[in-house]
Every structure is written in C-alpha cells, then in structure tokens.
Amino acid sequence: MRNIPLARPDIRPSDIRAVVKVLKSLHLSRGPISVAFEKAFAKYIGTRYAVAVNSGTSALHLALRALGIDEGDHVITTPMSFIASSHAIMFERATPVFVDIEPATLMIDPDLVEKKILELKKRKKRVKAILAVDLFGYLADWERLCAIAKKYKLALIEDSCEALGSRRGRRMAGSFGDVGAFGFYPNKVITTGEGGMLVTNNKEIADVAYSMRNQGIVRGKVWGVYDRLGYNYHLSDINCTLGLAQLKRIQKIIRKRRELAHEYTRQFKKAGLVRSPVEQKGTFTNPFVYVIHIPQKYGSSHRDRLIRLLNVRGISTRPYFPAIHLTNFYRRTFGYKQGDFPIAEYFADRGLAIPFYHALTRKDITYIVQAVNEVIKGF
C-alpha cells in the first residue's frame, strides 16, 4: 500500500555537506554561519535586520517583547491560525482578542479589526497591537491593516511563518508590519530542523531581540553586562547552515511548490472540488500547504471521516486549522464557545491539509485527488 506523508523536508546532498562542514569546523553555535544566515535572510526579505532564533514561536515572543506588549495589553488577532500566534501573546500576560476572518481569503477581516479597536477603546481597554497571519502562504490584507495600525497608533506584527517567498509587488511577506516572524520546522518552506527568524527595519526592535535571545545581554559591551530579562533563544550554527544552504536554492523550491499546487488545483477543478483561499490582486503566492474544504452541506464529522478513510488508503492528512478559540485551553481561559467566530469555525470544521512536499509525484496527486473524490461521493 502507498504511504504518503503530509509533509517531508527536502534535504539535498549540498545541505548535508554544509552541515558536515560546520561539524568539522567545531564552531557549532553563535559563530560566523549564523551571522551569514541572518544577513542572507534579511537581504532576501528586504528588511534591515534579521535575528535568528530557535523557533517561529520564539520569534513571535521576542517581537511582542520588543514592542513592549505587557500584562493587561490587548492584541487583536485571528482564530484561524496555528496556535502559536495566539499563545505568544499570552506569554506576556497580554490578552489575545480574536476577530473573525474574511470568507474569501480566510485572513483576518480588517473591517472587524477596526470595529474591535473602537469597541475596546470604548470599554477603556489598552489596545497595543494587531498580530495578523499570512495563512497557507497567502498574504493578509496588509495595506488595510497598515492603515488601521497607523490610524490608531498600534504596532503591527506579521506572522509570516507560512509565507516565506510570497510577495505583493516587490514587497516580501514578513516586511509589511513593524516586525515579522518566520519558522523553520521541517514542514516549512525552508527548514533548519527547528528554528525561526525575526525580521524588522527598526533598529531598536532588532537590538532588543538580539539582547533577549541572549539572556538580556548588552550587545557590543564587554561580556557579562545584562540590561533586561532575557532567554536563551539562540539558533545553533548547525541549524543555521542548513537554513543558509536551503535559502540559496529558494527560487527552485518556490517553483516546485507552485507547480505542485497548480497540479492539485487543476485536478481538483476537473473534479469540481477545490476551495483554496483567493489570492489578492498583485500577489505572488508561494504555497505552504494545500488545504481543501469539504462541501458546505457536510460538517466536521464528515471531514473527520474523510481523514480516517484517506488514512486507510495510506494518505496522511490533518484538520487545518482547528479554530484557536475552541481549543480546550482557550475555552477554559476565556470562556469562548461555538458560534463566537462563525466564519473561522465554518472553515475549521471543513478544512484539511493534504500531502504537500517536493517529492510528491503527479501520480501521487492523481491518487490523492481520486481518493478524496471517491470518499466524498460515498458520503
């Protein structure tokens, strides 16, 4: 039987050679390769600074810390994301305030963001920032979000962990907000095993991030001067060299991902079954996952049955994403319930990510599309 995983990193001989070289150099962390990776990454995104950290979650955490988000602050964000984007807000005892998504794009709805800001202000709550997410490789409506952030003097954080290589015009994902975050887990566009990157044009944010990934040290001073609370969020040179090797061939990676996504879309269209987010005008998308949604007349029990029956045929899939506000922790902490964000819930109930990685063949795709079709026909 076939065994098609959901995701698989693309590791080439050149990646392996690079890692072996670092091991032989004996300079395993905080060495020249991490600086080179940061430089190359900043250049690629077009931001002045890039700070390598040990996960995308750490990048989000440092972004919030660097912006001074604190206990009692409110940060407006989306319930349709990987849970890290909301958890990071809670690390600092700030409150994530969800607003619903736009059905066409699945991204946070700027109209609802503005409405929520006004409502919170009326209730005398401190609103500090908007944390929006580029979902599945697609871009949020950054033009509108930037305008709203400016109007109400809020910080804007971009969770671009899923959107490395996507851009609007010449502006790369990660460079729209005050600060952007990327992740390099093995299912991401490029991987370092575990890892992340904070990007910004703001020197103060970058300096605080450099300091806080290293115990709060004062940079450039003699070692041992600590100015603030910090962590150990370093990304080792072993990880960074893998990232650098992968970044060097990112154009090829993007081309391959787009080819695979097009093939899926073509075959699903023939079957009358596709429902991926709509691309905004002028956007170049580097797809991160391939997500399908089962038809409206079915709900989450059908989706879960689809997942089980595909699994029987050797195809791994995953609900994508469960709505954050309906996870046990958020229900318990904030009292959220079914119906609070109906559009996010609609897509959370029906969405599943299907296998998407470079070694996927056209034959695999045909097999998967056929299997999806057959199962849904049997509902």
Ligand X SMILES: *Cc1c(COP(=O)(O)O)cnc(C)c1O
Which residues here bind ligand X, judged by CB under 6 A? 55-57, 81-82, 84-85, 133, 159, 161-162, 183, 185, 196
Instruction: Compare residues 133 and 247 and give the one whose CB is closer to ligand X.
Output: 133
Least distance (Å) from ligand X to the CB of residue 64? 13
Pairing of strands 74-77, 95-98: parallel
Instruction: Compare residues 183 and 351 and give the one whose CB is closer to ligand X.
Output: 183
Instruction: Compare residues 141 and 375 and give the one whose CB is closer to ligand X.
Output: 141
Least distance (Å) from ligand X to the CB of residue 54? 9
Question: Which residue is closest to ligand X by CB?
Answer: 56
Residue pair 182/228 in contact (Cβ under 8 Å)? The answer is no
Least distance (Å) from ligand X to the CB of residue 182? 8
Least distance (Å) from ligand X to the CB of residue 57? 3
Instruction: Compare residues 156 and 371 and give the one whose CB is closer to ligand X.
Output: 156
Instruction: Compare residues 181 and 245 and give the one whose CB is closer to ligand X.
Output: 181
Least distance (Å) from ligand X to the CB of residue 162? 5
Instruction: Compare residues 84 and 97 and give the one whose CB is closer to ligand X.
Output: 84
Least distance (Å) from ligand X to the CB of residue 79? 12
